Structure 1
Amino acid sequence: MNQPQDHDLDALVGEIPEGWSRVRISGQTWGVARTTRANGAVVSISAERLSDAEQISANVWITANGPVLKPCEVPADAVVTFLQAAATEYSS
């Protein structure tokens, strides 16, 4: 599995801006929403490729032991791969 270490997951999620935004990944435009809840204890990420119905979504629980990735109806690998690509694009 392509699961990042805790500090990597923190960094990846940190690159995604709060609210709704667009990002271009591999020539495709995605609409991405990041919502922080529960006084920062839960971050929800949902993304939809705007050219079709491809979707990625997950919650990241911020715990005393580090962040925990909870994908929603998609494999964790798909979420991590998306977060890595999106973080790279947002940071450039």
Structure 2
Amino acid sequence: MATRSNLAGGKSHKLVAQELGGTDYISLNLYLTQASGALLRPCEMPAEKVVSFVLALKPDAQK
């Protein structure tokens, strides 16, 4: 299960995902700045783990 939240008027995004039937999770913040572009800030995990998860993510269709 994954939850994405828009913050700061869409300038910041938070993604939290829990492994179904397991204990693994992903948590990240993505900041969109004019000066630096997108800044990825994983929460207590390697950026490689977060990027791998996001690239493989296939969200359910919106109902």
TM bucket, shorter chain: 0.7 to 0.9
2:47 partner amino acid: A
Other-structure match for 1:72: 43
Superposition map of 1:18-29 within 5 A = none
Other-structure match for 1:38: 8
Hey, what's the Cα distance between the residues in 2 that align with 1:45 and 1:68? 14
- List structure 1 segments (4+ residues) > 6 angstroms apart after TM superposition: none
Encode CA deviations 1:11-55: one digit per residue, 9 max, x unaligned.
xxxxxxxxxxxxxxxxxxxx0000000001110001010111100
Q: Which consecutive residues of structure 2, in runs of 5 or more, have no partner in the other structure? A: none
2:40 partner amino acid: L
Q: Which consecutive residues of structure 1, in runs of 5 or more, have no partner in the other structure? A: 1-30
Hey, what's the Cα distance between the residues in 2 that align with 1:59 and 1:74? 12
Other-structure match for 1:57: 27
- What is the root-mean-square deviation in Å for CA atoms of aligned residues? 1.3
Hey, what's the Cα distance between the residues in 1 that align with 2:10 and 2:38? 11
Other-structure match for 1:25: none
Q: Percent identity?
A: 34
